[in-house]
């Protein structure tokens, strides 16, 4: 707009001066105090942010205990190994049964044969449980069992070592399951732990009697008969 008189020119000049002074004042304030700061977040917003951070940083609780590559890979490996251990036990008992049978220890042979079937049954129980839980299983090769012993006592000593090793293996599985808080596996293992206690006690008792055979003639044959009767009842 072009001023048409000196009075209008003076009025316009005064207005422009006021505007310039205001702009200058704003610039000075900005230089002195810096750019405007954003308003502080409310307490509600801050608490919500903390909750989001906690959820995102906390470990997932939905990971399945047997997920491959997950935190319980050790449990998966041990569970697979235990299936193999049960089959190994079955094979050794079968080998011992053959050894006794070929030397006319029919009672011992019958007992070992029954134990072989029981150990195989244990392996199949592990397989059944794994199938119910969708646990991936990979059967491993079973090494050939020992078949050469000098006398009956040596056979029973090997059997005791086998059971002691099986006990340790089961405890490793239980320890891994406990670390993963997989209580279903722990409950599944409980009967096996109790069976191991009974098996080790029984075999230790048999070994003590076999060792005394030289002191009491006929004791070993009596024991052979007793175990034969026991195995047929079982």
51 or 131, greater pLDDT: 131
Boundaries of domain holding 13 = 1-31
Q: Do residues 9 and 105 share a domain?
A: no
The helix, strand and coil proportions of the chain, stated in percent and rounded to the nearest 5, come to: 75, 0, 25
| Cα 35 to chain centroid, rounded | 57
**Cα separations in angstroms, 217 against 77, 102, 211, 223, 228:** 48, 22, 12, 12, 19
- Residue 122 annotated in ligand binding: yes
Residue 55 lies in a domain: no
Residue 5 has a pLDDT of 52
Residue 144 clears pLDDT 60, i.e. is over it: yes
Q: pTM value?
A: 0.70
Share of the chain above pLDDT 90, in %: 63
CA distances from 3 to 7, 8, 19 (A): 8, 6, 18
Higher pLDDT, 83 or 50: 83
Residue 156: closest CA among 223, 221, 76, 96: 96
- The mean pLDDT value of the chain amounts to 80
Specify whether 198 is located in the same domain as 98: yes
CATH of residue 99's domain is: 1.20.1260.10
pLDDT reading at 51 higher than 70: no
Q: Same domain for 80 and 196?
A: yes
- Is 179 assigned to a binding site? no
Residue 212 and residue 138 share a domain:
yes
- Residue 20 is predicted with a pLDDT of 47
- 86 carries a ligand binding annotation: yes
Q: Is the pLDDT of residue 178 over 70?
A: yes
pLDDT at 122: 98
Same structural domain, 128 and 191: yes
Q: What is the Cα–Cα distance from 202 to 197, expressed in whole angstroms?
A: 9
State residue 7's pLDDT score. 54
For 90-111, what is the mean pLDDT?
98
What's the rounded mean pLDDT across residues 10-35? 47
203 within some domain: yes
| Number of folded domains that form the chain | 2
Whether residue 107 is predicted with pLDDT greater than 90 in this model: the reply is yes
pLDDT at 173 over 90: yes
* Closest among 103, 107, 115, 79 to 196, alpha carbons compared: 115
Q: Name the least confident of 75-84, 104-113, 215-224.
A: 215-224
């Amino acid at each position: 707009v072009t001023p048409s008189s000196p009075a209008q020119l003076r009025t316009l000049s005064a207005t422009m001066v006021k505007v310039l002074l205001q702009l200058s004042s704003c610039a000075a304030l900005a230089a002195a105090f810096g750019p405007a700061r954003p308003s502080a977040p409310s307490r509600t917003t801050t608490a919500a942010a903390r909750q989001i951070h906690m959820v995102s940083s906390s470990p997932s609780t939905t990971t399945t205990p047997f997920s491959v590559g997950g935190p319980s890979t050790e449990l998966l490996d041990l569970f697979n190994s235990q299936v193999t251990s049960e089959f190994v036990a079955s094979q050794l008992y079968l080998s011992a049964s053959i050894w006794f049978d070929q030397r006319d220890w029919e009672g011992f042979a019958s007992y070992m044969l029954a134990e072989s079937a029981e150990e195989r049954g244990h392996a199949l129980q592990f397989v059944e449980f794994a199938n119910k839980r969708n646990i991936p299983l990979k059967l491993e090769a079973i090494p050939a069992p020992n078949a050469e012993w000098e006398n009956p006592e040596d056979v029973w000593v090997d059997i005791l070592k086998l059971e002691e090793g099986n006990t340790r293996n089961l405890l490793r599985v239980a320890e891994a399951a406990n670390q993963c808080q997989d209580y279903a596996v722990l409950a599944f293992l409980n009967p096996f732990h109790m069976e191991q206690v009974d098996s080790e006690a029984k075999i230790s008792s048999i070994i003590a009697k076999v060792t005394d055979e030289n002191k009491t003639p006929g004791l070993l044959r009596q024991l052979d008969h007793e175990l034969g009767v026991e195995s047929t009842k079982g």
